[in-house]
Amino acid sequence: MSQTVISSHYPQIRICSIRMMKPETCEGLLNKLVEIPGIRRILLHGQNIPKVIPYGPARGIENVTDIKRRITVGSTSCDIRMLVGDIILELEDDCIIGVIKRVCDDFFVKFGFVMQEGTFIKPTPTMVDYARYGPKADPDIIGMTDPRSKEGPVMIKSREHGNNPEIRCENDALEG
């Protein structure tokens, strides 16, 4: 059986911070990243903060924490409800990797980070995706959300980049 490989020709990078990021910190970094033209998709990967206590005698009662937070990236708001460990970016081309590295270098001052290149977003639909989205699924949706989640991905609209300075091709900033 042949499988259609989706968006494999787009480079992907993963930013792993040494410490798990709170939503406020993640929001700050994302707002710097979305200013960079050429990022197709952003995937946040981290540990879930459940809405209700999932196990034990207290199962079912509301999980009151100060971690849950609605963040605003660009002009779009979304609820992330997790501590973020990795930020995965899919790029139009690898010329902006150096720019992203510089943004991260300036941003991570209290703790470090590692940037890697590879394939981090699921490239092909699985059986679960087929059951959820059907045979004509949008390729850009695949791998972007947990198929069991009722929430879909959030679209962040880009501004016109007519006034932005030309970005020089820099792609020698990877580790791992």
Is 106 or 172 the residue whose CB approaches other proteins more closely?
106
Applying CB under 8 A, among 36, 42, 78, 83 the residue interacting with other proteins is 83
Residue 44 and residue 144: Cα distance in Å, rounded?
9
Q: Other CB atoms closer than 10 Å to residue 171's CB: what's the count?
A: 18
The pair phi, psi for residue 78, each rounded to 5°, is -150, 160
Binders of other proteins among residues 104 to 133 (CB under 8 A) are 110-111
The interface with other proteins within residues 17-56 (CB under 8 A) comprises 17-22, 25, 47-50, 53-56
Instruction: Classify each residue of 20-51 as buried b or exposed e, where b means 16 or more C-beta atoms within 10 Å of its C-beta.
Output: ebebebbbebbeebbebebbebbbbebeeeee
Give min distance, CB of 56 to other proteins, in A.
3
Does residue 61 belong to the site contacting other proteins (CB under 8 A)? yes
CB 41 within 8 A of CB 140: yes
Interface with other proteins includes 149 (CB under 8 A)?
no
Summarize as ranges the residues that interact with other proteins (CB under 8 A): 17-22, 25, 47-50, 53-59, 61, 63-67, 83, 85, 110-111
